């Protein structure tokens, strides 16, 4: 599965099969987590076989998590100025790699037990959010997107193919409550994405930037 297929196939999955992640995939995920931590300075942790984190009222009511026993905890130092955006960017990098490994995921900032989850957080660190991961009972379904004109300032018919591919991937990115609070534009031949002001919009921004870059092969400013 190439990265564009991973972007197209990824949807939030909240119900998982009650089977552990295979040893080989665990190794690959841990290696990727380590690589992301080295590059970003974050303290992302892969936590396995923890039945407590999603065992909260909210996670059953409405959003219905089932057998969500494995998750990535996105942790970083509080004084990293763009901590939320960085967590979004590297979290999505792992999410898409997991999709390519045949796993499913769901970003979760609200419906989990912050106090119950087995993450290590130092005094000077913060838990940004978690990402449930495992073998899905289903593959989820595509989200409804805002019209392209609301998310991209440019006339796409005049844009290069790489930009179009980036915009398409950005629209498919997961965002908190599917809010899609971002605007894409082109400035001096480079893609620019900015977040509107909203709760969790900076995490979303990192996610959206990663999707755009992965699909287009072009760095976003």
Residue 199 touching ligand FMN (CB under 6 A): no
CA–CA dist 127, 136 (Å, integer): 25
* Residue among 85, 125, 204, 213 that touches ligand FMN (CB under 6 A): 204
Give yes or no for residue 138 binding ligand FMN (CB under 6 A): no
If binding is defined by CB under 6 A, does position 183 make contact with ligand FMN? no
Q: For residue 198, what are the CA distances in angstroms to 173, 179, 181?
A: 17, 9, 7
Near ligand FMN in 80-99, by CB under 6 A: none
Q: Which is nearer to ligand FMN, 141 or 158 (CB)?
A: 141
Distance from C-alpha of 167 to C-alpha of 187, rounded to nearest angstrom: 15
Other Cβ atoms closer than 10 A to 56? 18
Chain residues 50-69 in contact with ligand FMN, contact rule CB under 6 A: 63
Q: At closest approach, how far in Å is the CB of 1 from ligand FMN?
A: 17
Nearer to ligand FMN, 111 or 216 (CB): 111
Among 12, 45, 67, 216, binds ligand FMN (CB under 6 A): 12
113 belongs to the binding site for ligand FMN (CB under 6 A): no
Strands (E), the chain: 45-47, 71-77, 104-108, 125-134, 182-187, 190-195
Structure tokens belonging to residue 20? 């552990």
In sequence order, what DSSP letters do the residues of 77-98 get, joined into one string? ETT-TTHHHHHHHHHHHHHHHH
Select from 26-34, 154-162, 174-182, 185-193 the region that touches ligand FMN (CB under 6 A): 174-182
Is 74:130 a contact under the CB 8 Å cutoff? Answer: yes
Q: Is 210 in the site for ligand FMN (CB under 6 A)?
A: no
Contact between 114 and ligand FMN (CB under 6 A)? Answer: no
Least Å from the CB of residue 141 to ligand FMN: 7
Which of residues 43 and 181 has its CB atom nearest to ligand FMN in the complex?
181
Q: 9 with 140: CB under 8 angstroms?
A: no
CA distances to 20, 130, 136, 151, 165 from 65, rounded to whole Å, are 16, 13, 11, 30, 32
Residues lying near ligand FMN in the complex (CB under 6 A): 11-12, 14, 63, 106-111, 129, 140, 143, 174-178, 200, 203-204, 207
């Amino acid at each position: 599965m190439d990265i564009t297929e991973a972007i197209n196939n990824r949807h939030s999955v909240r119900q998982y099969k009650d089977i552990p992640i295979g040893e080989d995939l665990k190794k690959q995920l841990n290696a990727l987590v380590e690589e992301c931590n080295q590059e970003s300075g974050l303290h992302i942790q892969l936590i396995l076989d923890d039945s407590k984190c999603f065992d909260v009222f909210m996670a059953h009511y409405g959003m219905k998590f089932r057998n969500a026993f494995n998750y990535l905890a996105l942790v970083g130092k509080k004084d990293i100025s763009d901590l939320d955006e960085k967590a979004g960017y590297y979290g999505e990098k792992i999410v898409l790699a997991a999709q390519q490994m045949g796993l499913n995921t769901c970003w979760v900032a609200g419906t989990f037990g912050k106090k119950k989850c087995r993450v290590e957080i130092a005094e000077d660190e913060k838990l940004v959010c978690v990402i449930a991961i495992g073998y899905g009972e289903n593959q989820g379904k595509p989200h409804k997107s805002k019209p392209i004109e609301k998310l991209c300032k440019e006339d796409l018919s005049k844009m290069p193919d790489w930009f179009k591919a980036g915009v398409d991937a950005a629209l498919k990115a997961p965002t908190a409550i599917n809010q899609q609070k971002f605007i894409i534009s082109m400035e001096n031949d480079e893609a620019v994405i900015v977040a509107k002001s909203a709760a969790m919009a900076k995490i979303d921004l990192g996610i959206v930037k990663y999707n755009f870059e992965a699909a287009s092969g072009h760095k976003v400013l």
